[in-house]
């Protein structure tokens, strides 16, 4: 009946832990936690650890009393990317269109796919990568994602008939809908909408008024009408950002300026990958004791030149940071992006050829010898960070995902 409009979603089970178990078989059946690059927080946990009350984001000193026998491992996104792209390749054998949604999730065109075919896909991924995945097939992306999550772990759920869909939505909190976070759920609660089933029963115009067009799209999706397409390529970025937790919160000016240089170098890598320049640079800081600060600055020319971005970043730090305040997060954001191939430069806007030559030599050496082998001397206060191999590659360095 609905064979021509089926959409699938596959979601790897405890993906980071599963990846570690592929190369370290002794971890199977053990309580395993994967830690952030600074080793402070649990960013992924096995089902054994989850059963002991450990949650994602929990500091290791809180997780250890709950699960003293746990084995903790620092994350390795380069390895996770290898298995993630292998899973995508297998999915592409089964489907004419696959969306690389995130490192551990993919949507795919499931037209003509029945339960046996979905199980076959699931088993092939397990056999060829060692990673267990849960699969959901339904009439839209949002329904397919709900279906895959309902069967975890290693479940295969078909929700293509009206009764199956009603069962999927019944008593499921609206927060389980991708795109509805705490603030949106609070708005819906004011109108007595708590579950996915109540969300679908609500007037579509009310949902649009409360949650804008995005909410209306979710209403259609949950009603069984697919309005969100499978994106085999990511849309162009409106901005690019590099940064995050500083690991050890600091008020040391040298470390903070070192972080500006590190984030600027990583931002240049991203700009070069996408072949774009930025016209505006922004900085956002979060402080350990609460509060935040942000500032943005227009650049003299649209650029991806490290020296210009670094200089602008240092000026932004002076504007954003009250000396003595402890900083825990820093982000550098490139805005007003322009495609280099279509850039219209003025007579005096040409990049300095010496800086361009230095940047090219730096890029080639780092590609051949290793990332950050050559880096700005301004990063020297972060020598401890560069000595830790887990800090050399982050999830944002995995390109092609559509979720961010």
> Which residues form the catalytic set?
105
Cβ proximity of 259 and 391 under 8 Å: no
Closest CA to 70 of 42, 40, 31: 31
* DSSP notation for 186-225: HHHHTTT--BHHHHHHS-HHHHHHHHHHHHHHHHHHHTT-
Give the tokens for residue 153: 């772990």
Quote the CA–CA distance of 4 and 8 in Å, as a whole number. Answer: 12
Nearest one of 289, 295, 286, 278 to 340, comparing CA atoms: 278
Q: Which two tokens stand for residue 201?
A: 């029963």
**Rounded-to-integer distance, Cα 130 and Cα 21, Å:** 8
Residue 331 to residue 308: CA distance in whole angstroms:
17
Burial class (CB in 10 A: 0-12, 13-18, 19+), 306: buried
Whether the link from the prior residue into 153 is cis, omega within 30° of 0, is: yes
Furthest-apart CA atoms within the chain: distance in Å: 67
DSSP type of residue 110: -
CA 20 to centroid of chain Cα atoms: 19
Q: How far apart are CA 203 and CA 353, in angstroms?
A: 61
Residue 336 backbone zone (phi > 0: left; psi -120 to 50: alpha; other: beta): left
What are the tokens at 97? Answer: 């269109």
């Amino acid at each position: 009946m609905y064979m021509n409009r089926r959409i699938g979603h596959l979601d790897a089970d405890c993906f980071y832990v599963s990846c570690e178990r592929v190369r370290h078989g002794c971890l199977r059946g053990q309580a395993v936690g994967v830690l952030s690059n600074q080793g402070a927080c649990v960013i992924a946990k096995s089902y054994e650890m989850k059963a002991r009350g450990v949650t994602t984001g929990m500091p290791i000193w809180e997780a250890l009393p709950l699960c003293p026998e746990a084995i903790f491992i620092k994350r390795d996104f380069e390895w996770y990317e290898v298995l993630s792209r292998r899973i995508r390749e297998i999915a592409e054998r089964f489907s004419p269109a696959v969306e690389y949604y995130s490192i551990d999730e993919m949507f795919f065109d499931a037209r003509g796919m029945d339960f046996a075919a979905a199980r076959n896909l699931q088993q092939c991924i397990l056999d060829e990568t060692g990673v267990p995945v849960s699969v959901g097939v339904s009439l839209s992306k949002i329904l397919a994602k709900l279906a895959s999550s309902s069967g975890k772990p290693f479940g295969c759920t078909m929700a293509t008939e009206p009764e199956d869909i009603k069962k999927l939505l019944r008593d499921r909190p609206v927060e389980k809908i991708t795109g509805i976070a705490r603030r949106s759920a609070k708005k819906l609660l004011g109108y007595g909408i708590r579950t996915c089933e109540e969300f679908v029963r609500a007037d579509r115009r009310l949902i649009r008024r409360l949650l804008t067009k995005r909410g209306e799209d979710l209403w259609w999706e949950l009603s069984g009408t697919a309005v969100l397409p499978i994106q085999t390529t990511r849309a162009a970025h409106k901005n690019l950002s590099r940064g995050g937790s500083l690991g050890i919160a600091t008020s040391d000016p040298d470390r903070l300026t070192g972080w500006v240089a590190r984030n600027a170098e990583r931002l240049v890598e991203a700009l070069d990958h996408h072949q774009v320049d930025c016209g505006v640079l922004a900085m956002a800081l979060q402080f350990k004791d609460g509060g935040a600060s942000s500032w943005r600055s227009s650049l003299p020319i649209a650029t991806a030149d490290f020296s210009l971005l670094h200089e602008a970043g240092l000026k932004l730090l002076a504007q954003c940071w009250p000396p003595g305040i402890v900083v825990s997060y820093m982000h550098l954001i490139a805005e007003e992006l322009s495609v280099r191939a279509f850039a219209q430069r003025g007579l005096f806007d040409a990049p300095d050829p010496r800086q361009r030559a230095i940047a090219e030599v730096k890029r080639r050496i780092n590609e051949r010898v290793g990332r950050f082998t050559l880096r700005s001397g301004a990063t020297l206060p972060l020598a401890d960070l560069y000595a830790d191999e887990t800090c050399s590659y982050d999830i944002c360095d995995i390109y092609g995902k559509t979720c961010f």
